[in-house]
Chains A and B, each alone.
Chain A
């Protein structure tokens, strides 16, 4: 074992020498001259603030002030200035006089961008890796409360599914296909250079300068064991050196409603007639004749449904003919779905101040967001504040700190699962035959002593219609709140040891404190039997990242340029929580545990996760034409056993900037052409738990004594899942950068998949964690941006991006693995070699038996030879669901997905839109399953489709005969599998900037008003179903997407 001391001594000596050398270096400047000027925009000659002005061949740089002015000092040997600004073409200018005014042309070209990449920045045009960038401009109009939701349609190869409309909820993101089966396929989020351990919804869109999406090995291998599913780097705004303070104000307010129409339901008359038929049919099955059965149905109907909306004048509202008796009229026509919806108000206001002196820069912001969802009781509130400050203390020491503090409060009533408390699904549970408010037998409202209507909690309703529950009735009384306080701290120091050699050290913490409070009132609804209940939980998590990186940039001769990065990083995540619940409240209106008399549970736990890493990177370029990069990272993780704890990750990449070649330099119409390729390995250790190798026995105390029960089989050899990524791409810019694009092909191979291998339940365990199998994603993706029209007054830009991949399982430990289990409804997928992770494997609907109305599914027919070997000979049908065979029925994964955007600018007005689209793939509509029972769920909402049920007069249909006993027709089958192709207008914004003379008259720099809409239009083949569902293509009664229309203003002074 080496001792730390020895190493420290050796290092100490080396550092002293380096430091001394650097001091000599600094003394070498002499004979300066000052150059100044104004930088303006080529199109309209307006001054451009914030342009970075650098002296070529040196590190010196300033930025232009609010009037576009700059002053810079050149050394005697220096004669060229480089002007760069995001969104504009970089310009080099040989200094000919002391006043040097410059015009910059708008880039319309993402290739010239500086992109934030792993542990540094890179020039997009020469970067060897695959990175896509989303800039502040593309985020500013979005009326969504988590940045994860604004990436959809903007980044090629990024599949984002906002599977819940709940304000503040995050979208599921998949980059370049599915990299894992059981371990997480989610990308790593990095905030201001460091892996982020908080909630992404705590960061305001307006604080974000750019989002870089790293997709290949060259880009993300430096994140080693966490980079396998891609990396999303969020960089927050910074001030600019030498700029006066600028204040930016953003405010918007809008209204949110349901984004698309719900399913159609039966009305009360139809419901009663159909349920009569279900009862009648069941009686026939029990052996009664038609007359007896009809009589029974008429007599028992109201009793079976436990309600009679036709009033006491019609005790048997449906006659022996199965029709509503003449004269009967439903005394109420309530609508549960409607009554649980509202117009949600969304309000956002933010202020930012940024500026900088010669050696320090700052960005300070504060914001407020109140996003109320369209479902009663749902909402998200956020208060956020940020200070980003960087300073250059002297020539050799720089320091910076980013501190963001925010507090969020989310009210999210239950909104997924088949649970009765699910607000999004309640209207699909409780049919509209039941009144929302209590009614008198004559249909009038029952009023309480204050003359108010009284919510009808329906203790009389059958179980299938949420007995004793009225979510509207107790929405105001109950509580589903989660509050979160977070502090994101990024602190770094940089020592400029020698010219080109820097030591960067940083310490970073993500601190999150969560408090969940849910309360069910004792007086009404589901809390009634336990006299109310409350559960409260608190958790604290702190992720700490410490790293030290040496960065050395140097040239050998004129053509060989090097950058070497080497360093070390430690990451620890500590999370600790406690929770408790009590019930039995003695009082209404008190919702804290202190007021409840019975302790139900109290528990607490903590977890620790540690990662230690060493990393290095080499970038080399020859004459700014040929670029090579190599990176390496070694990670040790506490998740695995000492024997398999360490893993190595690496990448190699190369790019060729063809336009730098002499033979292409003179082609006018070709502005840029870069070809690049990379290969490398990243890892994935995220299989959920933190203790993935031991045999574990869960502590399961019982009756006040210690208890244990088996929970996990040992897997000492368990290790990383690794991803081998190949990427090759071409970037081009043509016709004065008016046509730019990128096209890439890739292959991602995941091996040693972290897998929960299913075991036979008779072994006492249903699964064991294992490294088995491999996956492959082959795909391509691209992006094209065109500016078809550009005149002095009008500019039209158009962008299109697309991604395609094929996911294929290349190796499995066993012939097949059934997966994709959905709650109580069974499995939906099967994994086989050659198939994909999300191939539906379900029963195949064969329609309704025209002779008896029974549902039919397919099953195999066999012949058995002499040796007892069975051979499938064909298919036949069966009306017994369990006998039906399962078949592959296509994949949930789309063929092509991406976005289309366009921007029209006429003088001061601007119109932009963004469509996201997804073509191909299947979706299994389990929401429809809920409302498609054959009569076995009395009182549950019924789809209008039931009107076409089988009857002897209507034998050819796909809705079977009604019956009060289950027939399984609404079990999982292709009956409910649909094409998932859709397109959605994610955003449409119309804005107008007030003319400069007006604006400056009131002392402003800029004043813009805008109207914007989110999810205004959904193009999809199914009514009622939200096409944006989970990546696996299975719906589960989620909060549907919401549409938000808002007005905003944006001003700066």
Chain B
């Protein structure tokens, strides 16, 4: 009996010893990942890669003050002149005085660079692999088109963030171009010139334009043919191809009416808005909550960061009947942390903190169209496009004869500031126009009892080295992070 037990034990032991040799024994798989082979097996999975990449663009973050792509939008606002990062609060208080991302050692410098390039690599993976996947040919076409468009979008950002504008010097070194997926043997690339980057952008958009007709998106964060046209318009505007800019802008906004005045007061928080061509919906279970785009720019809640304030001079750009002017509110309650500031209530988060983020609107396209036409001296065409925006903001229509070309261009540029505040256009415009930032101390006051209380405005009016603001200052550019400089000998 005992001997039998002994034998069974030994048999058990021996059998275990040999199960441990087969490859099956070692088969394990991660619960939260797919392998490359699995990912590129079908268009369904590649569509998931597109979806994940868009989320990555909008929601990846390294710290509370870097909420995905919206961190770039907000930085580009506070590095201009119409928005101010409120003193004493977290968020963009180092971008506002041009300390980051100018300083290449900061986390913001690293984040802006690396997350945009990761989006590019994801696009490159889709472009390289989608043709071999199983699935309908149409889906392959649409996926490739979306990836090309997204890649163009990111390169268009990069070329405008890391080098002065095309018109200043198109042979200047901008950023490296990658069009193949990264593999373990990939070598980092040198910086391409501004012109080369734009060529890549135009090539990508041109190919996307042939692939995307017929693509019906179910969520507005996907890049469809209208988005492609809008990106064309932005690219041509910067490269000063006015006719193409105006034409593409017009095509881009086809089907997207400009919203009514009342809708302008609804908080800019929903992709269903008629004039949003491209935007990122959010869901309550995946927003960045207290550190999201809205957490910084929405000044209406009782608590939170509420960092981004309008400059009192910006308020003076509006006529009284302008619906947008009704969004200003002066805080006169002494116990309010925003006491003495104007609040600008353009952006209001949803109650569950899932406010959507706007990426492209027909108003912007109308203004590109107007500017393009004005630059070509088609003043009636320009005024017509401008008026489309004006009348929807409770302003009277302008007549073409009232302005000469220069004044009309100026009026359109001011309209861009009024219309697009908070959407990340101010710094790119300053760079594109090769102008300087203008910040003045406010002298406006309000009455509190008998006393005159000074309203708060720009508190940083010089560069970090105490020099005066100038056009084309390196302080306006994003810095290639020190990590890239250390690891990329080809740069």
Contacts and interface: CB of A to CB of B under 8 A. Distances in A.
A464 B305 CA distance: 11
Interface string B286-311: 10011000000000011111000000
Nearest to A546: B16
Contacts of B45: 706, 708
B330 interface: no
A861 B352 CA distance: 55
Contact of B34 (A690, A704, A708): A708
Q: Which of A304, A612, A636 neighbours the largest number of chain B CB atoms within 10 Å of its CB?
A: A612
B52 A707 contact: yes
A908 interface: no
A766 B290 contact: no
A463 B122 contact: no
Contacts of A707: 48-49, 51-52, 55
A699 B484 contact: no
Given A700-B55, A713-B182, A764 B290 contact: no
Most-contacted residue by chain B among A695, A701, A763, A881 (CB, 10 A): A763
A764 B283 contact: no
A460 B333 CA distance: 12
B104 A306 contact: no
B176 interface: yes
A11 B285 contact: no
Nearest to B53: A709
A820 to B, nearest CB: 13
A8 B52 contact: no
B88 interface: yes
Contact of B189 (A698, A712, A762): A762
B240 interface: no
Interface string B342-356: 000000000011000
A696 interface: yes
B35 A704 contact: no
Given A4-B15, A464-B88, A762-B176, A702 B284 contact: no
Interface in A525-544: 528-530
A95 interface: no
B14 A706 contact: no
Contact of B17 (A568, A702, A880, A939): A568
A459 B21 CA distance: 63
A705 B184 CA distance: 30
Contacts of A636: 20-21, 26
Interface stretch (B110-118, B258-266, B418-426): B110-118
Interface in A761-782: 761-766, 768
Interface string A608-619: 111011100000
Contact of B120 (A304, A460, A711, A764): A764
Nearest to A763: B182
A917 to B, nearest CB: 36
A548 B13 contact: yes
A867 interface: no
Contact of A285 (B105, B120, B466, B483): B466
Interface string A806-824: 0000000000101000001
Contacts of B352: 598
Contacts of B33: 691, 694, 696-699, 711-712
Nearest to A768: B184
Interface stretch (B4-12, B75-83, B194-202, B371-379): B4-12
A637 B25 CA distance: 10
Contact of A762 (B13, B63, B117, B301): B117
A762 B20 CA distance: 42
A6 B457 CA distance: 88
Contact of B107 (A714, A766, A824): A824
Contacts of B28: 607-610, 638, 690-691
B88 A286 contact: no
Contact of A287 (B32, B89, B290, B462): B462
B448 interface: no
Q: Which of B3, B28, B63, B441 has the most CB of A within 10 A?
A: B28
A7 B35 CA distance: 38
Contacts of A690: 28, 30
Contacts of A939: 88
B221 interface: yes
A760 B31 contact: no
Contacts of B301: 529
B174 to A, nearest CB: 12
A667 to B, nearest CB: 49
Interface string B74-97: 000000000000011111001001
A612 B20 contact: yes
Interface residues of B, number: 110
Contacts of A282: 459
A642 interface: yes
Size category of the binding interface on chain A: 35 or more
A601 interface: yes
Interface string A64-79: 0000000000000000
By secondary structure, the A interface counts as mixed
Contacts of B289: 530
A606 B10 contact: no
A637 B44 CA distance: 33
Contact of B20 (A303, A568, A691): A568
B29 A286 contact: no
A142 to B, nearest CB: 40
B303 A286 contact: no
Contacts of A613: 20
A774 B483 CA distance: 23
Contacts of B483: 758, 760-761, 766, 818
A546 B153 CA distance: 56
A589 interface: no
B23 interface: yes
A695 B466 CA distance: 49
Interface string B419-445: 000000000000000000000010000
B417 interface: no
B99 interface: yes
A965 B87 CA distance: 10
B328 interface: no
Interface in A678-730: 690-691, 694-715
A22 B139 CA distance: 74
Contact of A708 (B39, B94, B189): B39
Given A691-B33, A762-B189, A700 B56 contact: yes
B214 interface: no
29 contacts: A15-B10, A286-B441, A303-B339, A397-B6, A462-B89, A463-B90, A467-B303, A495-B6, A505-B13, A530-B353, A548-B14, A570-B20, A604-B31, A609-B28, A612-B25, A636-B20, A638-B25, A691-B30, A691-B33, A699-B34, A706-B47, A711-B33, A758-B483, A760-B188, A762-B176, A763-B186, A764-B120, A766-B483, A938-B87
Given A15-B10, A605-B32, A701-B52, 6 more contacts: A467-B337, A570-B20, A609-B28, A694-B33, A765-B182, A965-B99
Interface of A: 2, 4, 7-8, 11-12, 15-16, 19, 282, 285-287, 303-304, 306, 397, 459-460, 462-464, 467-468, 493, 495, 503, 505, 528-530, 546, 548, 568, 570, 598-601, 604-610, 612-614, 636-638, 642, 645, 690-691, 694-715, 758-766, 768, 816, 818, 824, 826, 880-882, 938-939, 964-966, 968, 971
Interface of B: 2-3, 6-7, 9-11, 13-21, 23, 25-36, 38-39, 44-45, 47-49, 51-56, 59, 63, 87-91, 94, 97, 99, 103-105, 107, 110, 113-114, 117-118, 120-122, 124-125, 175-176, 178, 182-184, 186, 188-189, 219, 221, 281, 283-286, 289-290, 301-305, 335, 337, 339-340, 352-353, 441, 459-462, 464-466, 481-484, 486-488
